């Protein structure tokens, strides 16, 4: 683990105790056991699980109680729920508290938080870490180790608040990068959102082939198919919100992916062996040089 959580964060409120929220709680407990962790989830069964797992010091029965007295508020709810959640907390968040989030699309979330919480100290963020599993039982104190957390401050964000949130994420083991919300959304569309779309569509396509031909396909799938489509098992409601909240960037990247796939399809149709090999080898070399924690 990195250095302890920044001294100013002595009471932290986590709204949403799914995979990311519960992982933050576990990681904070490991990096700074002196911080007081309060949390709330809108699902009563999740609150019960969180109490049973003892992931925070206090699971409250309302979001208002969770953020009351907190100097850091972390919104870990689906991106399209941010507006309603921020609205419900607008009178309870302390004027000196920093508000951050973990949403996978930032342009929409940033504009919503600015509009609903105009006087708040907002530092939008996104830890680029996850799993196909969900819920508080899926959380892990090591989830953010060596992973990127992208912060997307705007012209209204205090640089000291940005550094405070950057230090917070570093204390959980993450690497921090700062960029605009628009750049973040295009990057995530390319390396996360569209690949998830392709994984889901691949599973659906093979299932359609099974139905059309009346014979099994999926049961013969090996490691490659399982690895490629693993993320398609993630929470469908969460990903529906991500797709719709970042639709402009996703449509842009989908067009590029489609063009690339059609180019390879044409090379196969033309039996252009030399060019096909060149294209595949170029992609292979890029992937071999990719440094990603597995």
Q: Which residues neighbour 107 within 8 Å (Cβ) at sequence distance 6 or greater? A: 181, 182, 184, 185, 246
Report pLDDT for 139: 80
The 8-class DSSP code of residue 125 comes to E
- Which segments in the chain show pLDDT lower than 50? 1-7, 293-294
CA distance 284 to 163: 38
Beta bridge partners of 218: none
CA distances from 212 to 199, 207, 216 (A): 20, 9, 10
Report pLDDT for 221: 84
CA distances from 104 to 76, 127, 189 (A): 10, 8, 9
Q: Which has the closest alpha carbon to 244: 81, 28, 90, 132? A: 81
Q: Which residues neighbour 250 within 8 Å (Cβ) at sequence distance 6 or greater? A: 189, 193, 194, 197, 243
First to last CA, the chain: 18
Q: Which has the closest alpha carbon to 82: 123, 112, 43? A: 112
CA distance 177 to 210: 44
Report pLDDT for 292: 54
User: What number does CATH give the domain 184-288?
Assistant: 1.10.3660.10
Give yes or no for a contact between 76 and 51, defined as CB atoms under 8 angstroms apart: no
Task: Report the top-level CATH class of 11-179.
Answer: alpha beta
Domain residue ranges of the chain, discontinuous segments joined by +: 11-179, 184-288
Fold identical between 11-179 and 184-288?
no
* CA 48 from centroid of its chain's CA atoms: 24
């Amino acid at each position: 683990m990195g250095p302890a959580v920044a001294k100013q964060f002595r009471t932290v409120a986590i709204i949403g105790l799914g995979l990311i929220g519960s992982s933050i709680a576990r990681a904070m407990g490991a990096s700074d056991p002196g911080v007081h962790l309060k949390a709330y989830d809108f699902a009563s069964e999740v609150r019960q699980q969180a109490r049973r797992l003892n992931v925070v010091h206090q699971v409250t029965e309302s979001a208002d109680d969770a953020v009351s007295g907190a100097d850091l508020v972390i919104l870990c709810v689906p991106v399209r729920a941010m507006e309603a959640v921020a609205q419900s907390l607008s009178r309870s968040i302390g004027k000196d508290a920093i508000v951050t989030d973990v949403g996978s699309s930032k342009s929409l979330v940033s504009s919503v938080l600015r509009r609903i919480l105009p006087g708040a100290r907002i530092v939008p963020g996104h830890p680029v870490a996850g799993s196909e599993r969900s819920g508080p039982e899926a959380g892990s104190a090591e989830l953010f180790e060596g992973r990127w957390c992208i912060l997307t401050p705007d012209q209204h964000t205090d640089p000291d608040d940005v550094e405070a949130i950057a230090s917070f994420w570093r204390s959980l083991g993450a690497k921090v990068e700062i960029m605009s919300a628009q750049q973040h959304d295009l990057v995530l569309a390319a390396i996360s959102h569209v690949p998830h779309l392709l994984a889901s569509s691949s599973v659906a396509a093979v299932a359609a082939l099974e139905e059309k031909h009346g014979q099994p396909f999926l049961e013969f799938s090996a490691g490659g198919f399982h690895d490629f489509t693993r993320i398609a098992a993630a929470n469908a409601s969460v990903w529906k919100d991500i797709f719709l909240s970042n639709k402009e960037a996703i449509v842009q990247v989908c067009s590029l992916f489609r063009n690339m796939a059609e180019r390879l399809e044409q090379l196969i149709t033309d039996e252009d062996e030399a060019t096909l090999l060149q294209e595949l080898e170029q992609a292979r070399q890029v992937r071999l040089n990719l440094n990603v924690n597995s």
